[in-house]
Amino acid sequence: MPSRPLFTFALFAYNQEGFINDAVRGALSQTYSPLEIILSDDCSTDGTFAVMQEMASNYKGAHHIVLNRNPQNLGPAGHLNKIIRMSTGELIVFAEGDDTSLPERTAAIYGAWESSGRPAISIYSDYLVIDKSGALWNSENQAKGECGPPFQVERGDLLEFLATWRPMINGCTHACSRRLLQHFGELPRCLKYADIVFAFRSLGINGLLHVNRPLVKYRRHDNNFSFHAADDTLDQKSFAAYDAKRMDLLHGLALSYETMIRDMGALGEIAGHDRQYLAKLELEARRVQLLYLLERQMICEPFPLRLRAMSRILSRGGPRFAAILAPQLLPRRQYHKLRDFKRTIVNHLRNKTGMK
């Protein structure tokens, strides 16, 4: 039987002292071998690295452990670029410091990759959702794992992806081949959301593989933006915090689209897309990017500029998207009261039907 290739399991952490123990334990429990495990801290200001250091020093298993602490904070993209340069595995399995990988995660990724003939440059899986205490969250994602084939190669049109993000890689479940990085180079240091970019790159060269089972416990907590402010009270401070996070998110998404536009030249060379198709891709990417920037203006600009932004949103995004953002024309306090009221109604309906 031929020997299996070396894989790298890369755990990225920053200020996650409360969760890092579970994350490191998940990394060290991986059943796949040979495996290089990189435990990397991006200059945390809490005790995250101390926990990583202690657990690494106490480890007696067969995996090769590499411990890293950045002397300065590099941010998500800079941190990822550095760890990729440090890694030596043929596939790199990514993990976050607030999530927990199941012991069989790397082995399942290898099995799907090998059984499919190794065409994929990106592999992702389903995931289980847990709360901040580690208890399972009743979610639609919980039921996906045991249905259908064990894995499938994802196909899709890039034009549709730019508008819908489907199929999408969840970063906490992502693994990629070194070839992906050789094709496109390092991520821009300013990039905040690599998931979208990785999915676009992989889909563009037909190299996206989905493992149809949950292999990661993804943790919901207050610092996940999508779940932030669930318990906000109606005060000015919470309004301002929500708006600041939302503006930061929209700015980050605009940067992701700028990165994808930059990648289109490489896509033409690698996958043979013709210039006409690439021109359509860029036009669509510019349209969506503009909508994110206009939505950001709807949060931070005075009413006359918000009204002007709404006019452009209507022309670029259509009446349905404009209707979704129309409440942003209200004064911020009234807008947040409306948002809070809608959330209360949704939570009531979910509780009434037994959903989470």
As a whole number of angstroms, the distance between CA 259 and CA 262 comes to: 5
Angstrom distance (rounded) from CA 70 to CA 82: 9
Are 99 and 218 contacting, i.e. CB atoms less than 8 angstroms apart?
Answer: yes
Other beta carbons less than 10 A from residue 17's beta carbon: 17
Superfamily of domain 7-221: Spore Coat Polysaccharide Biosynthesis Protein SpsA; Chain A (3.90.550.10)
* Band of residue 356 on the pLDDT scale cut at 50, 70, 90: very low
Pairing mode, strands 122-130 and 100-101: unpaired
Asked whether residue 227 carries a pLDDT value surpassing 90, the answer given is no
| pLDDT at position 332 | 87
Query: Cα–Cα distance between 17 and 97 in angstroms, integer?
Result: 9
Query: Which pLDDT tens digit goes with each residue over 63-88?
Result: 999 999 999 999 999 999 999 999 99
Asked whether the predicted pLDDT for residue 198 surpasses 50, the reply is yes
Average pLDDT over residues 133-143: 68
Cis status, amide bond into 5, omega within 30 of 0: no
Neighbours of 277 (CB within 10 A): 16
Q: Is the per-residue pLDDT at 316 higher than 60?
A: yes
Start-to-end CA distance of the chain, whole Å, equals 47
What's the mean pLDDT in 257-268?
94
H or E, element range at 88: none
Amino acid identity for residue 113 in this structure? W
CA distance 128 to 283: 36
Which tokens belong to 152?
């499938």
pLDDT of 142: 53
67 bridge partner residues = 39
Q: What is the pLDDT of residues 235-262, one digit of tens each?
A: 667 888 889 999 999 999 999 999 999 9
Question: At what angle are helices 48-58 and 20-28 packed, to 10 degrees?
Answer: 30
Domain boundaries, the chain: 7-221, 228-350
CA gap 139, 49 in Å, rounded: 31
Average pLDDT over residues 300-319: 94
317-329 average pLDDT score: 92
Cα 79 to Cα 116, 194, 256, distances in angstroms:
30, 12, 17
Going by the DSSP 8-state scheme, the letter that residue 136 receives in this structure is B
Q: Report yes or no: 317 and 291 within 8 Å, Cβ to Cβ.
A: yes
Q: What is the rounded average pLDDT for all residues in the chain?
A: 90
Q: Is the pLDDT of residue 1 over 50?
A: no
Rounded Cα gap, residues 126 and 141, in angstroms: 7
CA 296, 297, 302, 304: dihedral to nearest 10 degrees? Answer: -140
Radius of gyration of the chain, Cα coordinates, nearest whole angstrom: 21
pLDDT band per the 50, 70, 90 thresholds, residue 147: low
Mean pLDDT of 151-171: 91
Q: What is the pLDDT of residue 141?
A: 46
How confident is the model at residue 353, as a pLDDT? 62
pLDDT digits (tens, 9 = 90+) for 95-134: 999 999 999 999 999 999 999 888 889 999 999 999 988 8
Amino acid in the structure at residue 100: T
- pLDDT of res. 232: 45
Bridge partners for 210 per DSSP = 124, 152
Q: Are 7 and 90 in contact (CB under 8 A)?
A: yes
Q: Which two tokens stand for residue 105?
A: 């995660």
32-55 pLDDT per residue, tens? 999 999 999 999 999 999 999 999
- Work out whether strand 175-177 and strand 122-130 pair parallel, antiparallel, or are unpaired: antiparallel
Q: Name residues whose C-beta falls within 8 Å of residue 114's C-beta, 6 or more positions apart in sequence.
A: none
Tell me what pLDDT residue 146 has. Answer: 57
Structure confidence at residue 167 (pLDDT):
92
Mean of pLDDT values over 5-25: 97
Where does residue 201 rank: exposed (0-12), middle (13-18), buried (19+ CB within 10 A)? buried
